[in-house]
Amino acid sequence: MPTLNANGLRIAFDTAGDPKAVPLLLVHGLGMQLTAWPDEFVDGLVELGFYVIRFDHRDCGLSTKFEQAGTPNLPLARLKSRLGWPLHPPYRLEDMAEDALGVLSALGVARAHVVGVAMGGMIGQILAAEHPQRVLTLTSIMSSSGRRGLPGAAPRVRKALARRPANPVDLDSIMEQTVALLRTIGSPAYPTPEKQLRRRIARCLRRSYSPGGDARQMLAVAAAGDRSAQLAGITAPTLVIHGAADPLVPLACGQDTATRIPGARLEVIEGMGHDLPPQLAERLLALIDAHARGKMLPDSTPRLFVKQ
């Protein structure tokens, strides 16, 4: 796997498609390696004529780890966040946005379409707000503005997130815990086939496993706070996609994000949770492609996709 130097770090990356095609940067969520992007999603973007760029966030995959910073006390961090007390993470989402910008610069890409999922959507929002000249369009999927008062994860999701593998050093045990978590937050109307889900998880676990990095990224998200003011300054054409059945980042978060970004388009997908199920790949690709090419049908109201 190739690496590059960006923002003073070693960042693992991968590209697909013709380098002369229109660049599209994929920014994944918390703890998700570049290999977590579904193959059919990446291949579909290439077939649509994009030069697709993926990378491992700092503290994830094969990129630079921050193990010297230790593992944060997340319950204490959540309490401080609820009380409005300041958090002091080893890095912030703004730093991660600079990493993404550094990837584009290292590859000689002046401007790119940016597609971010969950935490990656937050990073994409910051990138579009702080470096508007580098972002052609923004697609924010299953993400949030971070505004206080928005609903949080469902109780069953919080319990799933708090669970730890029965044996934290055994890959089979880690696999079962990860499968259970992804099933809990996944799309109820579009469950990913078991073999496909396990194959994707195994590929990531064999490549890298960094629970400490996940915790530090989670602290960065908690410390990010309300980005409403930043979102109001985004000028790139923006598409917000959110699942109506997302139990981790509820639909209200996506609705709020679209409201905060001037001219943003909201697309709600019925039955979609907090994942990218293969059954929705074609639909998601069509939305991203139409948005990137400026061919979205004019519509001032959110479009609701219903399971066929």
User: pLDDT-based confidence at 86, cuts 50/70/90?
Assistant: confident
pTM of this structure: 0.94
- pLDDT tens per residue across span 127-178: 999 999 999 999 999 999 999 899 999 999 999 998 989 898 899 999 999 9
Q: Is the pLDDT of residue 308 over 70?
A: no
Instruction: Determine the pLDDT at residue 34.
Output: 98
pLDDT higher at 162 or 273: 273
Domains of the chain: residue spans and CATH = 3-305 (3.40.50.1820)
Average pLDDT score over residue span 71-75? 90
User: pLDDT-based confidence at 304, cuts 50/70/90?
Assistant: very low
Question: Which three-class secondary structure string do you get for the chain?
Answer: CCEEEECCEEEEEEEECCCCCEEEEEECCCCCCHHHCCHHHHHHHHHCCEEEEEECCCCCCCCCCCHHHCCCCHHHHHHHHHHCCCCCCCCCHHHHHHHHHHHHHHCCCCCEEEEEECHHHHHHHHHHHHCHHHEEEEEEECCCCCCCCCCCCCHHHHHHHHCCCCCCCCHHHHHHHHHHHHHHHCCCCCCCCHHHHHHHHHHHHHHCCCHHHHHHHHHHHHHHCCCHHHHHCCCCCEEEEEECCCCCCCHHHHHHHHHHCCCCEEEEECCCCCCCCHHHHHHHHHHHHHHHCCCCCCCCCCEEECCC
Q: Is the pLDDT of residue 300 over 60?
A: no
User: pLDDT-based confidence at 85, cuts 50/70/90?
Assistant: confident
- pLDDT tens per residue across span 230-269: 999 999 999 999 999 999 999 999 999 999 999 999 999 9
Q: What is the mean pLDDT of the chain?
A: 94
User: pLDDT-based confidence at 302, cuts 50/70/90?
Assistant: very low
